[in-house]
Amino acid sequence: MTAGNETAASAAKYPGGLSRPRFLLTLFLEYFKIALFVVGGGYAILAVADNVFGRRLKWLEEGELLDHLPVFQMIPGIIAGNTAVYTGLKLAGYTGALVAQAAVALPSIIIFTAVSMGYNALPVDNPLVAGVFLGLRSSLVGIIAGTIASGWRRNVRGAYGYAAFAVASVALVMRGAGILAVLVAAALAGIALEFCGLGDARAFDSAGISAAPVPRRAKIAACAAVAAALAAITLIYGNLFWIFVKFGLMSFGGGFVLIPAYTAEFVGPDAPALNIPLHEFGNLMALTQMTPGPVSVNSATFFGFRFAGIPGALVATAGLFFPSYVLLTTALTGLDRWKDNRFVRGLLRGVRPATVAMMVSACLTFSGMSLWSRLPEGGVSVSPLGCAIAAGAIAAMLSRRVSVMAIIFASAAVGLAAAAL
């Protein structure tokens, strides 16, 4: 099936013999379920989506999403949104990309609109609720660790791969380096090796998506509709949409990189917008790490609601996702033409082991939320239950016999049962 060819795709048989409308609905529901039940943001969503669409449904090659993580990292936009755009574009063209991205955003919009309407009343301190979230977060440690292990040979190989992984891991975990700085350094190193004749012919296992040209009339109509919608949104809501477009362009590698930008824009008496008290923002950050959805999307929904209620939440979230959709579809549909270019090959070869280091860093971050915590008087407190759940999730992932959603639900049930007992 040729991605991007809407006319041909409508007549083609989709996996499972589904019709195009049924296929798009299934695509939406699968990503909606992933975003609804996965606590931990973009890397966790990518790991679960790779399992669901690669291993269980077999709509993609197993490991295909992980293989494209270097591309997702180098294009502005949150990992969860970029993952959804790739899946939808590959399977059902531009409409599929839009459907999948909407499915990833919708749970955050629903949950954090409710949070924004009365987050102080949420029973986050209830032991049973805390037990469920402990199980969910612990399972994600195992899921991400299992994903790293399964994709290790594809992404970290040769002397450069191991050296780049080690350096990036130290920079991220021990030195607190920024994600963008690590990506740029790794890309430059890979390009230098390629032009020095030390490239790896296997470094580009997968290219972009071959998309048929969109008919001129359809392209003009789509551009006109988008321009009219953006004009109407700007007229009604001012620069709200464009503020979050700016944040979407600033997002490389994950939502946590946007927290300083959100703070500068919205928090404190000197912020140009909203002036949210610092303690309230701290509560918000705690909730975003306990609830499903990427941190950046949950926060965008919260801030948008504070601007203009439920419509503001929709506008802000759409603004955050807009650059990801436009830039990634453009990059993916043009990547095939450049797959033999030495610059592109070197860039992707350089970044690939660094993205594994970023997943390791994310895994350690989640571990600090569920497996251990630092004590105020010094030292570390370890959660035996969290460690046991994470170990069970790793074993289940490596066994390849248990679906990732089953792992998530089982871990939540164990956390709930432990809290009840």
The better pLDDT of the pair 293, 201 is held by 293
- What are the sequence ranges of the domains in the chain? 6-127+159-352
Q: Calculate mean pLDDT across residues 53-77.
A: 85
How far apart are the C-alpha atoms of 171 and 215, rounded to whole Å?
A: 47
pLDDT for the residue 364: 83
Contacts of 281 (CB under 8 A, 6+ apart): 262, 263, 266, 267
pLDDT for the residue 200: 62
- Among 27, 65, 106, 133, which residue's Cα sits nearest to residue 359? 65
Q: Calculate mean pLDDT across residues 164-190.
A: 86
pLDDT for the residue 354: 85
Beta bridge partners of 252: 77
- Among 167, 150, 157, 166, which residue's Cα sits nearest to residue 200? 157
Instruction: Assess whether pLDDT exceeds 60 at residue 204.
Output: no
Per-residue pLDDT of 212-236, as tens digits, reads 667 788 888 888 999 999 999 999 9
pLDDT for the residue 150: 80
Q: Calculate mean pLDDT across residues 161-183.
A: 85
- pTM value is 0.77
Q: Which tokens is 339 given? A: 């797959």
Query: Given pLDDT bands bounded at 50, 70 and 90, which one contains residue 241?
Result: very high
Per-residue pLDDT of 402-414, as tens digits, reads 877 788 889 889 9
Burial of 278 (0-12, 13-18, 19+ CB in 10 A): exposed
pLDDT for the residue 8: 43
Question: How far from 190 is each of 76, 103, 151, 332, 342, CA to CA, in Å?
Answer: 20, 35, 19, 20, 10
Instruction: Assess whether pLDDT exceeds 70 at residue 363.
Output: yes
The better pLDDT of the pair 103, 12 is held by 103
Residue 267 main-chain phi, psi, to 5 deg? -110, 135
Query: Given pLDDT bands bounded at 50, 70 and 90, which one contains residue 132?
Result: confident
Per-residue pLDDT of 388-400, as tens digits, reads 999 999 998 888 7
CA angle 169, 173, 178 (to 5 degrees): 90
Instruction: Assess whether pLDDT exceeds 70 at residue 338.
Output: no
- Among 114, 139, 165, which residue's Cα sits nearest to residue 38? 139
